[in-house]
Amino acid sequence: MIKKKLNKLIGLKKEEFDEYLKEGQIQVQPARLIPTLKTGDEMALTSIFLSVVRLVKEYRTDLFKEIKLPLGGKVFYYTEACFPEIGKSRIDGLIIIVVSGKIKDAAFFEMKNKNNSIDAKQVETYLGVTKKLGLNKLITVSNEFVADPTHSPVKVKAPKSISLLHFSWTYLLTKGQLLMFKNENNIQDEDQVEIMREALEYLESPVSGVSGYTQMKPGWKQLAENIRAQTPLKISDEYIADAVTSWYEEEKDMALLMSRKLGVLVKSSNKTKESLKNDIKRLVKENYLKATLSVKNSVSDIKMIAEFERRTVSMSIKVIPPLDKGTVARINWMNKQLENSKKRIPELFEKLESNIWIEADIKFAKANLKVKLSDLGDLTEMTKGKEIQAFHVVLINGFGANFASNKKFIELIEKMVLDYYAGIVQQISNWNRPAPKLN
């Protein structure tokens, strides 16, 4: 039989795909839930991950929506994909979707675990294979964090026809954990629940090579020390971009951490192509960075600010008081909410209390009025003849020398956000205007 040269996957009949397999022009291994590979090996991790996608419907649906793979058709999952006529590269994972006997869509996966980083040259090579075979999706997975899946941890320019996406293992792990909570996204089939549970047990084990975000990039420490020493900053300095990227990654990590604790997906702020440029400009000029965490049904988004000169981190929520009552009643209402918080979890609240500030958002005023929680009563005199339209409950912690520490900074800010949420955020609610009544 004369071999026909392989030049595409999309549109290829599945029968032809199988024929190419027999001829050795396509070389793949089927993904196995229990691979006969060394524990902790990247290929073992790839095989287990793709098998979980194959076997757990809700997890598959969630992932396919993110990477824009069709949900219909018959799906095949492979590891160690190689196409000798195109190159010697062996790509870690391949998913193909077959509809009416033809391959309708497909995606390549490149996986790394432990401290292994995504390699730019490798990605460029895989993009070349992806383009030659007519695919439009290459997904990289590693322990590296990115602000958004459309961002890559490496500087590689993908062809316009190809979507280059990246997920951290922590993100994929969190997605699986959220399916185990009792909510509208539950895994319906009991056997699939057990498969997901076993897979999560493996992924959470240190032997899998999966780890979270444990330290900021070197640029963070350099930036903190330069601002402390009043060294002039330049927008073009690479270490500043390094620091801002670290902040984005830690924001994402905090969102995933809270997601796992709360059982709902906590969102971090969206990052566009202009975000990095704008945040670098603000940082060079004003020496601070901002972040936002959004928790479904909570009182408000959590706004965070890291101030390099003061070496502090602040977290705040916005609270709407009864707008059908006077200013004094609004202050008393806010005070009562905080007193109730203290009664519910006194030990944690007392630990936070000395660092809590209350800001009154005054209608038509350029700046908020700010007092310590212990001086909340002073607002009554300060706001005479003025209208409070909202309160901001702010927690400010000084990190001192640990602000510049690549590891300690993460430990402190993650503990701070969990304490702030437990002690303040989840205890407070907005006033809601009552429904109008019939006369």
At 426 the three-state DSSP class reads helix
Nearest-5° angle of CA 413, CA 179, CA 300?
Answer: 45
Domain assignment present for residue 130? The answer is: yes
At 116 the three-state DSSP class reads coil
Domain assignment present for residue 3? The answer is: no
CA–CA distance, 322 with 389 (Å, rounded to integer): 9
In this structure, the answer to whether residues 312 and 385 fall within a common structural domain is: yes
**What is the signed CA dihedral for 210, 213, 217, 221, rounded to 10 degrees?**
-140
Q: In what order do the strands lie in the sheet with 163-168?
A: 27-30, 74-82, 90-99, 102-111, 137-142, 163-168
In this structure, the answer to whether residues 34 and 150 fall within a common structural domain is: yes
In this structure, the answer to whether residues 196 and 223 fall within a common structural domain is: no
> Which pLDDT does position 17 carry in this prediction?
96
In this structure, the answer to whether residues 188 and 228 fall within a common structural domain is: no
Contacts of 288 (CB under 8 A, 6+ apart): 282, 305, 306, 307, 308
Asked if the model's pLDDT at residue 91 lies above 90, the reply is: yes
**Could you tell me the pLDDT band of residue 79, with boundaries at 50, 70 and 90?**
very high
In this structure, the answer to whether residues 303 and 321 fall within a common structural domain is: yes
Q: Which of 158, 168, 242 is nearest to 203 (CA)?
A: 168
Name the token pair of 325: 């009552």
Last residue of a domain, one of 171, 190, 208: 208
Q: What is the pLDDT of residues 140-196, one digit of tens each?
A: 999 999 999 999 999 999 999 999 999 999 999 999 999 998 766 789 999 999 999
- Burial (CB count within 10 angstroms: exposed 0-12, middle 13-18, buried 19+), residue 274: exposed
Domain assignment present for residue 1? The answer is: no
Q: Extract the runs of DSSP E, i.e. beta strands, from 225-297.
A: 267-268, 288-294
Domain assignment present for residue 437? The answer is: no
In this structure, the answer to whether residues 136 and 32 fall within a common structural domain is: yes
Region 261-266 average pLDDT: 94
Asked if the model's pLDDT at residue 417 lies above 60, the reply is: yes
> Which pLDDT does position 4 carry in this prediction?
85
Q: What is the pLDDT of residues 212-239, one digit of tens each?
A: 999 999 999 999 999 999 999 999 999 9
CA–CA distance, 168 with 172 (Å, rounded to integer): 7
Number of domains composing the chain:
2
In this structure, the answer to whether residues 293 and 380 fall within a common structural domain is: yes
Domain assignment present for residue 403? The answer is: yes
Q: What is the pLDDT of residues 300-317, one digit of tens each?
A: 999 999 999 999 999 999
> Which pLDDT does position 435 carry in this prediction?
86
Q: In what order do the strands lie in the sheet with 356-362?
A: 267-268, 288-294, 302-307, 312-319, 388-398, 356-362, 369-372
Which domain, by its residues, includes 36?
14-208
What is the distance of C-alpha 13 from the center of its chain?
Answer: 38
> Which pLDDT does position 436 carry in this prediction?
86
Mean pLDDT value across the chain: 95
Asked if the model's pLDDT at residue 287 lies above 90, the reply is: yes
| DSSP secondary structure code for residue 179 in this structure | T
Domain assignment present for residue 100? The answer is: yes
Region 237-265 average pLDDT: 96
Domain assignment present for residue 5? The answer is: no
> Which pLDDT does position 178 carry in this prediction?
94
> Which pLDDT does position 200 carry in this prediction?
94
> Which pLDDT does position 184 carry in this prediction?
65
Domain assignment present for residue 436? The answer is: no
In this structure, the answer to whether residues 202 and 230 fall within a common structural domain is: no
Judge whether 220 and 406 are in contact, CB under 8 Å: yes
Nearest-5° angle of CA 298, CA 300, CA 303?
Answer: 125
CA–CA distance, 342 with 324 (Å, rounded to integer): 26
Contacts of 168 (CB under 8 A, 6+ apart): 141, 142, 143, 144, 145, 146, 213, 252
Judge whether 81 and 90 are in contact, CB under 8 Å: yes
DSSP secondary structure, 308-343, as one string: TTTTEEEEEEEE---TTS-HHHHHHHHHHHHHHHHH
Last residue of a domain, one of 208, 226, 244: 208
Asked if the model's pLDDT at residue 115 lies above 70, the reply is: yes
Which amino acid appears at position 294 of this protein?
S
Name the token pair of 78: 């492979």
Region 346-355 average pLDDT: 97
CA–CA distance, 395 with 315 (Å, rounded to integer): 5
In this structure, the answer to whether residues 237 and 355 fall within a common structural domain is: yes
What is the distance of C-alpha 286 from the center of its chain?
Answer: 26
CA–CA distance, 70 with 104 (Å, rounded to integer): 9
In this structure, the answer to whether residues 306 and 195 fall within a common structural domain is: no
Last residue of a domain, one of 157, 188, 208: 208
Q: Which of 425, 399, 400 is nearest to 412 (CA)?
A: 399
In this structure, the answer to whether residues 173 and 253 fall within a common structural domain is: no
Name the token pair of 299: 């009182």
In this structure, the answer to whether residues 134 and 88 fall within a common structural domain is: yes
Asked if the model's pLDDT at residue 325 lies above 80, the reply is: yes
